[in-house]
């Protein structure tokens, strides 16, 4: 059992981040914010996929105006992603953002930050301080060696957090991202040691999904396994639904996905010379045919009796394939033997019973 780091609790609308709350999956919309209908559609898809927070970029005044309308049309708390403009931050807060993200690399003057804090206090809006290595490097520090860049990110975070604390604002979530796995792990460990605020984990600019899922799983997985991280976002050059699926998979693999959140953990054996059916094909068919479920389930698809009954013991449902047939297990107990063509219908029938 992974012991989570203790943090203060931060509220983003109805969603609690940190403390004993389940780790929150979030993602970002990737359609123009001013295209309200498409944006709302994408937010709703993300919610169905398991996002409990959705972030939307608001680079212009027209975007914050659209953001105000989007807030009214969705059920999930929205985060406004703000860079460069204190006015955008205040407009987003007034528009109903549950949380805003500020980048210390590009909103720096104390007066503006005080204006934002005052608006956030008035509207009960949380703020994420999102330090980004690329933004730090824009501060003409390109020649700073990698190790010192981590220290620089921490220094920037400390300076920024102090501004908020001096004005008695503590509804903060902290994040520090890099495209480098080791540096992201290092900086987040330092942040976890230094502050009591919840941490948003992410590896930035992680690349195409096939690359992003590996680097994100390594980086976020390492930190989560140490108990660090209260909300996660996987960045990938892909549909945000893909980001959400990767984020969910990371949490499921660590046994940290919200215990009450419906999800299916699919255990599939890798197959070997003993298998008498095409296991990958069978597992894909099982996955494709799974219905929507309302509770967490573990399903095992195994190729033979070497490990089949063992995995079945820990699964809600298991299939142990043999030549042209399969043994079906429920909660570790063998309940029937079916022909190959009956595997999927039988599985669906048993799922209904569960
Ligand atoms: S369960 Fe059987 S078929 Fe699958 S990998 Fe193990 S030994 Fe091979």
Please name each of the domains of the chain with its CATH number.
Answer: 10-253 (3.20.20.20), 264-353 (3.30.413.10)
Tokens 């996955």, residue located: 287
Q: For residue 341, what is the DSSP state?
A: G
d(CA 103, CA 85): 10
pLDDT value, residue 99: 98
- What pTM was computed for the model? 0.90
Is 160 in contact with 127 (CB distance < 8 Å)?
no
pLDDT value, residue 261: 80
Task: Output the tens digit of pLDDT for each of the chain's 354 residues.
Answer: 899 999 999 999 999 999 889 999 999 999 999 999 999 999 999 999 999 999 999 999 999 999 999 999 999 999 999 999 999 999 999 999 999 999 988 998 999 999 999 999 999 999 999 998 887 755 555 667 777 889 999 999 999 999 999 999 999 999 999 989 999 999 999 999 999 999 999 998 878 999 999 999 999 999 999 999 999 999 999 999 999 999 999 999 999 998 778 888 899 999 999 998 899 999 998 888 888 778 889 999 999 888 888 888 889 999 999 888 999 999 999 999 999 899 989 988 998 887
Q: Is 323 in the pocket of ligand 1 (CB under 6 A)?
A: no
pLDDT value, residue 32: 98
Task: Tokens for 314, please give them.
Answer: 């820990």
d(CA 30, CA 328): 42
Is 285 in contact with 344 (CB distance < 8 Å)?
yes
- Most informative mutation of 267, 268, 270, 271 for ligand 1 (most atoms within 8 A of CB): 271
pLDDT value, residue 312: 86
Q: Is 304 in the pocket of ligand 1 (CB under 6 A)?
A: yes
d(CA 91, CA 4): 35
Rounded to 10°, the helix 36-49/61-73 angle is 50
pLDDT value, residue 139: 52
* Atom nearest to 308 CA in ligand 1: 1
d(CA 136, CA 150): 10
The burial of 111, by beta-carbon neighbours within 10 Å (0-12 exposed, 13-18 middle, 19 or more buried), is given as exposed
CA of 278 to the centre of ligand 1 (A): 11
């Amino acid at each position: 059992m992974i012991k989570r780091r203790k943090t203060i609790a931060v509220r983003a609308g109805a969603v609690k981040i940190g403390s004993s709350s389940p780790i929150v999956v979030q993602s970002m919309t990737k359609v123009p914010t001013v295209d309200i209908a498409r944006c709302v559609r994408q937010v709703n898809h993300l919610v169905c996929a398991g996002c409990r927070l959705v972030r939307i970029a608001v680079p212009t005044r027209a975007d914050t105006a659209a953001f105000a309308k989007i807030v009214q049309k969705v059920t999930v708390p929205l985060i406004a992603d703000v860079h460069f403009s204190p006015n955008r931050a205040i407009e987003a807060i007034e528009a109903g953002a549950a949380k805003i993200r500020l980048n210390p690399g590009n909103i720096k003057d104390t007066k503006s930050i005080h204006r934002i804090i005052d608006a956030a206090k008035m509207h009960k809006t949380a703020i994420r301080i999102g330090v980004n290595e690329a933004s730090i490097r824009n501060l003409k520090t390109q020649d700073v060696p990698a190790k010192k860049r981590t220290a620089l990110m921490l220094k920037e975070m400390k300076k920024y957090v102090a501004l908020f604390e001096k004005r008695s604002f503590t509804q903060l979530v902290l994040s520090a991202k890099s495209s480098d796995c080791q540096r992201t792990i290092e900086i987040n460990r330092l942040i976890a040691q230094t502050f009591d605020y919840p941490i948003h984990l992410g590896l930035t600019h992680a690349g195409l999904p096939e690359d992003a899922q590996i680097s994100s799983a390594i980086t976020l997985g390492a930190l989560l396994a140490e108990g660090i991280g209260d909300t996660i976002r996987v960045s990938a050059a892909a549909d945000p639904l893909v980001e959400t699926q990767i984020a969910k998979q990371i949490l499921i693999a660590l046994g940290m996905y919200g215990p009450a959140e419906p999800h299916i953990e699919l255990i599939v054996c890798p197959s070997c010379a003993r298998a008498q059916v095409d296991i990958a094909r069978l597992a894909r068919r099982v996955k494709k045919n799974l219905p929507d479920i309302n509770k967490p389930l573990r399903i095992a698809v195994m190729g033979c009796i070497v490990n089949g009954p063992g995995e079945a013991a820990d699964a809600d449902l298991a299939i142990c394939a043999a030549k042209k047939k399969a043994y079906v297990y429920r909660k570790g107990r063998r309940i029937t033997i079916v022909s190959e063509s009956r595997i999927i219908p039988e599985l669906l029938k048993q799922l209904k019973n569960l």
